[in-house]
Structure 1
């Protein structure tokens, strides 16, 4: 299939992109249209309450409606725009802005049916765009919110895995679950997160030539804990690396994962979709 003039593998099953930044794309509705054509039927998008969150939340349904209108012209049976879910949280880069007013916004948004997770939250000691003390404080506070609302926590950790694990153990995780987003480490690094009960989400780096350690880590993760994401518009998978990523391209990462695991792509894709629905499906998730 070639939605958007890009050749994508035909998996033979539907798929999920569990981490997208739709509001960063030039044409979110077009991206959802192409996702539908590629079989990506479930998308989780990120909203940061320090970055025009209200407008992004209001836009989600409009993007889906426009995608649906475009899909009518294709006249392809069962071709519908992906279900879009939202996670809300302050990115570690913006932790310095976390205060009571932001907490109140997250609390307000968390009550909306479309919001089914708290994230992306965590620690980023690589860039340190916010002071580390602020990152720790915001991460801890938002883990507490995830526990309060029993929504899955979607965690971003970069060069701060030991600190992140310690804080997650100290504060505790919501019964609804936890996702380690865009995993780029090796099998030794993945083990403590599995022990905590986290799902591990793999993105474009799984396909990169020099990412053998990430592929080894994938083999250490049980299939019922595996998720796939694009982190679009970033992290485009091979052979599209360097281009603006979008939800449809998650199929490239899934195909590579199936090759690495020695399992049919259809099986891997459906398992990850079930995992995504269980975590982010909404109030009825089970």
Structure 2
């Protein structure tokens, strides 16, 4: 019983074998997943898949790398889609200082607009963070994001920032990097996060966990993430699966 809280089965890397990927996920015990749409192409595909499969939900938002492309029209579109019964979150949104397509100030403004939208429609938010932790926390605090809370997606930062996130009603989601041999930060976080604020994800097709690192990631591999976290927390795989599934359903308001 696992819940993969962040997948991108709506991208072209899965066009050849999407059904087979879903079947492997089912066989691996993945009972639910959230497909995250982040631009013009992936948002409609996330909605379509959520409509097609009972166990799949969608999130809709605008990726910070493409912030420069978002206008009031896109924001209104996301707001309209947020009313869909299978849409459970706004995102992914945030800041990405690794790529330079969108200027930092543009990213910040688009980030704020989406937080404000999420508060308006009363949905949690999914945060993308790359090399921008302190600015993200500052904006979340200034925009009172604790009103909706959400997920620090694929958290790969120091435990020093975890408490600030928890205080704002955020869950900490860990993915493939927690299994990487030399990745000390996510391992420390895996042991530190309270059990009722822990989530798991793949972020597929990216960041495949060991021993599949470097290959295309897929939802079935979230089992490897859960197993590693169980080992780090000195508990059972079953307990991690049960707890993280309960946490995800609580956050997303899924009652079945």
Task: Return the index of the structure with the highest Cα Rg.
Answer: 1
How far the C-alpha of 1:268 sits from its partner, in A, is 1.1
Structure 2: which 5+ runs fail to align?
none
Give 2:8's aligned residue: 21
1:123 aligns with 2:95: yes
Give 1:146's aligned residue: 118
Aligned residues: CA RMSD: 1.6
How far the C-alpha of 1:54 sits from its partner, in A, is 2.5
Deviations, residues 205-248 of structure 1 (Å, cap 9, x unaligned): 00000112211111110010000000000000001111111111
- Which among 34, 48, 52 is matched to residue 38 of structure 2? 48
Q: Within 1, Cα distance between the matches of 2:205 and 2:247?
A: 23
Q: SS of 1:22's equivalent?
A: coil
How far the C-alpha of 1:60 sits from its partner, in A, is 3.7
Q: SS of 2:244's equivalent?
A: helix
Q: SS of 2:10's equivalent?
A: helix
Q: SS of 2:127's equivalent?
A: strand
- Which among 33, 48, 72 is matched to residue 58 of structure 1? 48
Whether the aligned pair in 2 keeps the contact of 1:50 and 1:97 (CA below 8 Å) is no
How far the C-alpha of 1:281 sits from its partner, in A, is 4.0
Cα–Cα, structure 1 residues 53 and 196, in superposed 2: closer, same or farther, change >3 Å?
A: closer
How far the C-alpha of 1:55 sits from its partner, in A, is 4.1
Q: Within 1, Cα distance between the matches of 2:86 and 2:50?
A: 9
Q: Within 2, Cα distance between the matches of 1:174 and 1:191?
A: 13
Q: Within 2, Cα distance between the matches of 1:130 and 1:33?
A: 37
Q: Within 1, Cα distance between the matches of 2:76 and 2:168?
A: 28
1:185 aligns with 2:175: no
Deviations, residues 186-219 of structure 1 (Å, cap 9, x unaligned): 2113232122221000000000001122111111
* TM-score of the pair, normalised by structure 2: 0.94
Give 2:28's aligned residue: 38
How far the C-alpha of 1:140 sits from its partner, in A, is 0.2
Give 1:91's aligned residue: 63
How far the C-alpha of 1:128 sits from its partner, in A, is 2.5
Q: Within 2, Cα distance between the matches of 1:237 and 1:59?
A: 24
- Which among 258, 268, 273 is matched to residue 245 of structure 2? 273
Whether the aligned pair in 1 keeps the contact of 2:146 and 2:168 (CA below 8 Å) is no
* TM-score of the pair, normalised by structure 1: 0.84
Q: Within 2, Cα distance between the matches of 1:147 and 1:36?
A: 34
Q: Within 2, Cα distance between the matches of 1:50 and 1:234?
A: 20
